[in-house]
Structure 1
Amino acid sequence: MAGLEMEDLKFHNIINNTLRSSPTTHTVTNPRTESALWPCPIASPADFEDAVSSANRAFKTWKLTTLSERQTLLTKLASHLESHLSLLSQILALESGKSLLLSELDVRGAIAQCLHYADPTNALSDHIQFEDSSVKIIATHVPLGVVAAICPWNFPLILSNLKVVSSLVTGNRVIVKPSPFTPYAVLKWIELVAAEEILPLGVLQVLNGGADLGQQMTLHPGIAKVSFTGTIAVGKAVMAACAKTLKKVTLELAGNDACIVCADADLPKAVKSVAGGAFFNAGQVCVATKRVYVHESVYEEFARRLVEEVRGSYTVVEDASVPSVFGPVSNKVQFETVKRIVEDCKRGGYEIVTGGEVRESGKEEEKKGFWLEPTIVKGPPEDSMLVREEQFGPILPVLSWSDEDDVISRSNLANAGLGASVYSSDLAQAERIARRLDAGSVWINQAERPHMGAYFSGFKDSGFGGEMGKQGLLSYSYTQSIHFAK
């Protein structure tokens, strides 16, 4: 991290391509060390009103741009991100606790998103919906207006940029609200875009703030759509607030993802894949493997192999410059949540077969970061906190099953509708199980990793609407039907 000192960087809200400071700031803590980072400006209600006004003024001309023109700008955004890869990766590593390796993957993921939607085959285009001897009906896609992107902290740039590129390629303007736990890289990225004047005034803006700013976004009549990624409870509040002005809304919410390992699974491959699905980024992934159900005939062998894999491949590495896919819990609030789950397992006497130790902070000058060892718990009860709630951290329950109907019923919790995975050598069996799981995405013989070309959505409590793929762009557009008489 040499060369990146706290005093070297300043951060601003970006409104109408100009830097906006604030007398009110907050400071984020480095999750690896618990040391304070940079002062970060908190947007005022006046800042928000200015951003909305600027975005709506931009609508008059931006909505007239062609798809080709917008895609050219996405290509420029990709090049811009590439040129600032090192700086943004270092900022991300400091604010999120990720290693530089994972932080660079975050930036490169954003670059890939820009290039994906810059490809004409991946964007919405006019098409004939119906035609007969009397009529031809064309579907065309019209931008909604101003999109408010309310973003999470686990992948700050990827998950913000997904909402940005989806908005831009469909002709919308977007105001980004990064998570107050990880505001820095997103603020700096949009500042750099503004400095280069890549986009017209008011098309892309960013405001840092907390729940009050998010609430303003959901209620303001000048916002046409809210795209929110976060918890179920907050998602319900967002949806209720958006209903007051009939805003369009997309919600990606909790995913207590189930993984089903069948008796005939290739155990060496399955174990390695499940470990990655569960402990990549310390389990802080929306579709991370959160619960593993293993057929009773291979349960003990699977559990033994999984412990060996996790002990060998997922360890605490304090130096962020050392390549690692495992890191600390990203913030104090989530750290306390995962600690409560670990403590509940210990109180319940559940079998913790590896991990379970929390590295507590000492005195103020001896702070050590939000570290929790990768933890595996064998056979906790179905009604335990660890099984019923989404842990979003490095602790994993491994449970046994014998009957297919029973394991599907146990897998299909209301908060488990985002993703799932199935491991079996019998692909017909794997697909049969996959089709019975109440999840928006199911992966067979692989860890859960969303693909930009596939629609990504949550069932039940895990979301409303979806993003990615061509279908995801429909939620950023009105579809207009134009009828031609013959």
Structure 2
Amino acid sequence: MGSLATENLKMEDLTFHNIINDTLRSSDNTHTVINPRTGSSLWPVPIASSQDFEDAVLAAQTAFKTWKLTTVSERQTLLTKLASNLEEHLPLLSQILALESGKSLLLSELDVRGAIAQCLHYAQPENALSDHIQFEDSSVKIIATHVPLGTVAAICPWNFPLILSNLKVVSSLVTGNCVIVKPSPFTPYAVLKWIELARGILPPGVLQCLNGGADLGQMMTLHPGIAKVSFTGTIAVGKAVMAACAKTLKKVTLELAGNDACIVCADADLDKTVKSVAGGAFFNAGQVCVATKRVYVHADIYEEFVRRLVEEVKGSYTVVEDASVPSVFGPVSNKVQFETVKRIVEDCKGRGYEIVTGGEVRDSASDKDAKEGKRGFWLEPTIVKGPPEDSMLVKEEQFGPILPVLSWSDEDDVIERSNLANAGLGASVYSTDLAQAERIARRLEAGSVWINQAERPHMGAYFSGFKDSGFGGEMGKQGLLSYSYTQSLHFAK
């Protein structure tokens, strides 16, 4: 357990359960997650059975009969209580999260605090849906009201376990839905513990959590008692989710791959831009849905930009084995993704691309773990200069600490190169000429574009993917519409 094994958090003291109708349910069928920093095993965690899932759906359907009748104000009061509960348990949840995800304690605390902020954001009256007049004339007044769907299945990713699970939870709750959370099997612990600790705040059956893999996800997409699936993950799985949901005409929201392009113009302020691009690319070792994945730098400043970027990354994004040391760079979060990124690195080496920094696997393990052959999933921050446009590194979303830096000179050309089918989630543009930056931004085929800043979603803004990067969206008031039916009430005058 290393530096995180405190008197308040010992591996042998913690147990994890599925949460069904506010009861804790164990199972003889378990799996164990690997600590990405060291390769050592963590806790056994129960895998939900098909009966567990059926029981959770029944509990949600029963709870929904009365939960849907609550007012928005009543739900928002409970969101505030959820935020307080998260705050109370922040040290415990942060330490669990650090162990399962490989994040530093600093980043793990940011994950928990992000979930707190989400609760408080949607607890504000102005951030929830409300009735409004759609149309009115001398003969009719038409009011739009928002009706909850029923039970939402939240199928969640591993890169920010609490933030990305809680976003689906608060969106479901504030709109009057019940929600069953399925955390990633790579990072189940903090989410299960959070929902366990939150019991008693909401009526039983309103918020439940089940641990499982693809088979549980498939049950969620096919069950007629699930009204909506909110999924965050890969394009291939997202397509399968959408096809399965079609069989029962479920509502579905998909946040999928984002091979985000970053365009740096010739007049960019390099002092600010280099630091921002480095952070956009290597924060959380590049494991961010809207991380900077491809950088296109104007030919006039290309060499200078690359030189500065290498210096910045070498100075600010290094392997720090002790999770208690504040750091925004860490290991790849699981072995599957580790092997994916290694494959891309090896492809770059095999094809002779110019790696200007990084490119090596870094061992990290305690003496005991090392003797047992256990290793963490560490890759050095890696920058590749000028790989071809059809290279694996450029075409595929790497979701890890390796970054291609390419050159451009023609605006139409760089926009065309940026607009890949799998690059529709986010993008960024850097220029001191704001008119130029906005002109480029408006031509980029991405749901969110950041100008002179790294890609960071904002709770007040609708977040969605174009093309292969998603279907529907989350956040902002618009994001809540996908968790509701809109009913039009026509009043004759």
Q: State whether TM-score is above 0.5.
A: yes
Q: Does residue 153 of structure 2 align to residue 173 of structure 1?
A: no
Q: Does residue 419 of structure 2 align to residue 416 of structure 1?
A: no
Among 24, 29, 45, the residue aligned to 1:19 = 24
Deviations 1:42-87 (A, max 9, x none): 0000000000000000111000000000000000000000000000
Measure the CA separation in 2 of the matches of 1:363 and 1:161.
36
Q: 3-state DSSP class of the match of 1:366?
A: coil
Measure the CA separation in 2 of the matches of 1:261 and 1:346.
26
Deviations 1:297-333 (A, max 9, x none): 0000000000000000000000000000000000000
Measure the CA separation in 2 of the matches of 1:102 and 1:458.
25
Q: 3-state DSSP class of the match of 2:367?
A: coil
Which residue of structure 1 aligns with residue 153 of structure 2?
148
- Kindly indicate whether the alpha-carbon contact (under 8 Å) linking 1:354 and 1:376 is maintained by their aligned counterparts in 2: yes
Among 67, 72, 75, the residue aligned to 1:62 = 67
- Kindly indicate whether the alpha-carbon contact (under 8 Å) linking 2:229 and 2:253 is maintained by their aligned counterparts in 1: yes
Distance 1:363 1:99, change over 3 A: closer
State percent identity of aligned pairs. Answer: 90
Measure the CA separation in 2 of the matches of 1:263 and 1:363.
51
Deviations 1:99-152 (A, max 9, x none): 000000000000000000000000000000000000000000000000000000
> How far off is 1:366 after superposition?
3.9
Deviations 1:222-269 (A, max 9, x none): 000000000000000000000000000000000000000000000110
Measure the CA separation in 2 of the matches of 1:77 and 1:176.
15
Which residue of structure 2 aligns with residue 312 of structure 1?
315
Distance 1:363 1:413, change over 3 A: farther
Q: 3-state DSSP class of the match of 1:363?
A: helix
Which residue of structure 2 aligns with residue 93 of structure 1?
98
Distance 1:363 1:342, change over 3 A: farther
Measure the CA separation in 1 of the matches of 2:251 and 2:106.
36
Distance 1:208 1:354, change over 3 A: same
Deviations 1:320-356 (A, max 9, x none): 0000000000000000000000000000100000000
- Kindly indicate whether the alpha-carbon contact (under 8 Å) linking 2:429 and 2:437 is maintained by their aligned counterparts in 1: yes
> How far off is 1:363 after superposition?
11
466-475 vs 352-361, which deviates more? 352-361
Q: 3-state DSSP class of the match of 2:361?
A: coil
Q: 3-state DSSP class of the match of 2:44?
A: strand
Deviations 1:1-58 (A, max 9, x none): xx42210100000000000001100000000000000000000000000000000001
Over aligned residues, Cα RMSD in angstroms?
A: 1.1
Q: 3-state DSSP class of the match of 2:300?
A: coil
Report 1:206-285 matches (<5 A): 206-285=209-288
> How far off is 1:359 after superposition?
2.4
Measure the CA separation in 2 of the matches of 1:174 and 1:468.
17
Measure the CA separation in 2 of the matches of 1:48 and 1:86.
30
Measure the CA separation in 1 of the matches of 2:316 and 2:362.
19
> How far off is 1:450 after superposition?
0.1
Q: 3-state DSSP class of the match of 2:186?
A: coil
> How far off is 1:362 after superposition?
11
Q: 3-state DSSP class of the match of 1:212?
A: helix
- Kindly indicate whether the alpha-carbon contact (under 8 Å) linking 1:359 and 1:368 is maintained by their aligned counterparts in 2: no
Distance 1:53 1:356, change over 3 A: same
Deviations 1:385-404 (A, max 9, x none): 00000000000000000000
Measure the CA separation in 2 of the matches of 1:427 and 1:99.
36
TM-score, normalisation: structure 1? 0.98
> How far off is 1:483 after superposition?
0.4
Unaligned runs of 5+ in 1: none
- Kindly indicate whether the alpha-carbon contact (under 8 Å) linking 2:293 and 2:403 is maintained by their aligned counterparts in 1: yes
Q: 3-state DSSP class of the match of 2:318?
A: coil
| Residues paired across the two proteins, number | 482
Measure the CA separation in 2 of the matches of 1:366 and 1:141.
56
Deviations 1:412-464 (A, max 9, x none): 00000000000000000000000000000000000000000000000000000
Q: 3-state DSSP class of the match of 1:294?
A: strand
Deviations 1:269-312 (A, max 9, x none): 00000000000000000000000000000000000000000000
- Kindly indicate whether the alpha-carbon contact (under 8 Å) linking 2:22 and 2:199 is maintained by their aligned counterparts in 1: no
> How far off is 1:368 after superposition?
2.7
Measure the CA separation in 1 of the matches of 2:270 and 2:31.
48
TM-score, normalisation: structure 2? 0.97
Q: 3-state DSSP class of the match of 1:475?
A: helix
Measure the CA separation in 2 of the matches of 1:146 and 1:196.
18
Measure the CA separation in 2 of the matches of 1:373 and 1:57.
51
Measure the CA separation in 1 of the matches of 2:92 and 2:245.
36
Measure the CA separation in 1 of the matches of 2:196 and 2:282.
33
Unaligned runs of 5+ in 2: 1-7
Q: 3-state DSSP class of the match of 1:298?
A: helix
Measure the CA separation in 2 of the matches of 1:123 and 1:397.
40
Measure the CA separation in 1 of the matches of 2:203 and 2:273.
48
Deviations 1:187-210 (A, max 9, x none): 000000xx6500001000000000
Distance 1:93 1:43, change over 3 A: same
- Kindly indicate whether the alpha-carbon contact (under 8 Å) linking 1:362 and 1:368 is maintained by their aligned counterparts in 2: no
Q: 3-state DSSP class of the match of 2:362?
A: coil
Measure the CA separation in 2 of the matches of 1:286 and 1:155.
10
Measure the CA separation in 2 of the matches of 1:18 and 1:196.
8
Distance 1:460 1:240, change over 3 A: same
> How far off is 1:367 after superposition?
2.3
> How far off is 1:157 after superposition?
0.2
